[in-house]
Chains A and B, each alone.
Chain A
Amino acid sequence: MSSITGFLSRAWVRWAITAVVAVALLVVPLLFSEYTNQNLARIGVFAVAVLGLNVVMGYTGQVSLGQIFFVGVGAYVTGYGATHDWNIVVVFLASVLVPGVIGLVVALAAARLGGLAIAMVTIALPIIGVPLAKRLSDFTGGSQGLSSAFSNAPDWTGLYNDQWQLYLVIVIGGATYLLTRNLVRGKYGRAFAIVKSNEAVAASMGISPYRYKVLAFTVASLIGGVSGFLYMAVIQFTSPETMTFSHSITLLASMVIGGAASIIGSLLGGAYYVLVPQWSNDINPNLTELLQGALLLLTLFLLPGGLVTLPREIARRLRRSRPDGGPERRQTPSAEPAPGREAVEETPTVGGIPTQRPTERQEQA
């Protein structure tokens, strides 16, 4: 185990992996069928949405039930701009900034209440959002929804629409992932982590929990806006259905099942959001919600860190079941938290913030 992580942490290995992944991402849209490409693009869209939720919930520890609302707002703004022939850059900026501003206003009020109040306020967003979208029919097309084919492949590329859209998702989603990863690994990420683990300690160190909660929530809604833009680019249609309460809960379940406070976990969450309902609808549509609730509870009971911690969990179980497991484990204490970043972040950062942690994390990056 430790030799693998040692191998993985070498600089050239990391570069090689990055290069392989980048090349794979560039080639993938050209190889697969239209159906697969569309599914992959959808996974990308919701992986970005889950990533946003992860910033506020996974990293900062504030339960938000409203993330889907920002995705919906982003999609609506995109659709409105695209149908009114705005410049695509303006459309993108508006689709990110409008949800961001709404998120900021909501957070400014909600974060004033401590504890679980953010969850209790944000639960209202999708519940108000749906009738509001129906009401503002001049902008949103009411219950009919809004469609826009602005993201069809331009002629000069010679690509099919699904390939072009998948490239859009890869480029924009990938950039969002990189930016978010840098955010949560850096100074802000450490501030988020300490707000999550103990607000009083954070305050005593000059980190205002209120400000960082507002910041995290705003960043989450900005990312939700990006996801909404991509949603419109891939699905080319949005309606009040996009932001219903049940979708909001599915998004939250995806985040927890994928892995809270984890970049890879967010990707897994996006895959969960798209694939599992498809799969359970094939079995029996009436069972979808039941299965989702059961899966979420099972995850919380058996694998609180989400799917992303599954390999580590299995390794731990295997080691424990081996008779000579005890001493071996004692020999390599550092190997235990290393494989996944989450362990580092979940260990209470309160005690020993300054010394080793930053470098440790940068090395892993």
Chain B
Amino acid sequence: MGQFIQLFVDGLSNGSIYAVLALAIVLVNQATGMINFAQGGMAVLSAYATWWLTEHGLPLVVAILVSILLSFVLGGLIERFVMRRFERGDPDTAVVVTIGLLTLITGICGWLWTYNNKQFPSLFSLKTVDIFGAAVSVRSIGTFLVIVAIMLLLQALFLGTKLGLALRAVAINPQSAAFSGLPVGRLLMAGWGLAAALGAVAGALVAPQLTLTPGMMDSALVYALAAVILGGLSSPIGVVVAAWLIGVLENLAAVYVHFIGYDLKVAVPFILIFVVLIVRPQGLFGRKVVVRV
């Protein structure tokens, strides 16, 4: 039982990181209709920025905050100067552009900081606390709580502020939003910036565990995409639940299902997807998209 609880909490913590990345992907998708495969790469760049700042003497919390801010700016700039050209065009081309961005950003990280692993300081202590007889790490609980807090903040932003209202308007119908005087371009930049800032949080939380390398987020990106498919692109809550489900299930499967084991647990979300696709093609919580011709 102790092991089960431990696996469950660790799974929730991993799932939270996938959830943040998945939320960033959904955010961009809602605003622009594209899937940003570079989201993980941008998060890695943010993590490197954080690491670089701590190496230069900044305290970790300050470094993370500065890096979140920088990521916001960078995300906006990428939207304006790279993605803007492809937004109204073919979505497949836009996807290839984000893959190019992913390669470029990974390449920049590798070039500036080499491909060797770097130790990243942890925000939380590595101690464990005793919960119902299970030794649960403070880091897992901390990660989970931080991410729940971020989700509440996001929810407040989207439902309680004027900026959130404008962002939602642009997501639903950019043309009408423009007609009613909203600065659509700037709002899209803000959307990308927010997504990048979310990625920065995910990067800072996952880097101590995985150690920092340019390809650190590749598998996290795969998990996040799986969560996006399972949860349905139109449902942020669904995506978060799916990410937690994936995090917990893969951890349990790694230990209790002999064939899967630790090395193949990345297959778990995709087995899940195959099952779900056959039963509910629109995702667990998504709506069926109906296109008017």
Interface residues, chain A, CB within 8 Å of chain B?
Answer: 57, 61-63, 65, 109-110, 112-117, 119-121, 123-124, 127-128, 131-132, 134-135, 200-201, 204, 245-246, 249, 252-253, 256, 286-294, 296-297, 300-301, 304
Contact = CB atoms under 8 A, between A and B. Distances in A.
Contact of B273 (A109, A123, A290): A109
Interface stretch (B12-20, B90-98, B190-198, B204-212): B90-98
A128 B264 CA distance: 7
For the complex of A and B, the 8 pairs showing the least CB-CB separation, nearest first, are A293-B104, A290-B107, A289-B107, A293-B103, A296-B100, A200-B293, A120-B225, A297-B100
Given A117-B229, A245-B218, A293 B281 contact: no
B103 A296 contact: yes
A121 B105 contact: no
B1 interface: no
A200 B290 CA distance: 11
A109 B221 CA distance: 20
B90 to A, nearest CB: 8
Main DSSP-derived SS at the A contact region: helix
A304 B97 CA distance: 11
Most chain B CB within 10 A, of A65, A109, A116, A294, is at A116
Given A131-B264, A200-B291, A296-B100, 10 more contacts: A119-B95, A127-B222, A128-B266, A201-B293, A245-B218, A252-B99, A289-B106, A300-B86, A300-B93, A300-B96
B52 interface: no
Contacts of B266: 124, 127-128, 131
Interface of B: 34-35, 37, 82, 85-86, 90-93, 95-97, 99-108, 110-111, 114-115, 214-215, 218-219, 221-222, 225-226, 228-229, 261, 263-264, 266-267, 269-270, 273-274, 277-278, 281, 289, 291, 293
Nearest to B226: A124
B120 to A, nearest CB: 20
B281 A112 contact: yes
Contacts of A200: 291, 293
A288 B225 CA distance: 26
A63 B96 contact: yes
B229 A120 contact: yes
14 contacts: A57-B92, A109-B273, A115-B91, A124-B267, A128-B270, A135-B261, A204-B293, A245-B218, A287-B107, A287-B111, A289-B107, A291-B107, A297-B100, A300-B100
Contact of A123 (B86, B110, B222, B263): B222
A145 B277 CA distance: 34
B4 to A, nearest CB: 24
Nearest to B292: A200
Given A112-B281, A116-B95, A124-B266, A253 B219 contact: no
Contacts of A252: 96, 99
Given A200-B293, A290-B107, A293-B106, A120 B281 contact: no
B101 A293 contact: yes
A114 B289 contact: yes
A135 B96 CA distance: 31
Contacts of B215: 245-246
B281 A119 contact: no
Contacts of A128: 264, 266-267, 270
Contacts of B225: 120, 123-124
Contacts of B281: 112-113
Given A120-B35, A252-B96, A134 B263 contact: yes
A119 B36 CA distance: 11
Given A128-B270, A245-B218, A109 B101 contact: no
A256 B103 contact: no
A281 to B, nearest CB: 13
A119 B35 CA distance: 9
A286 B114 CA distance: 7
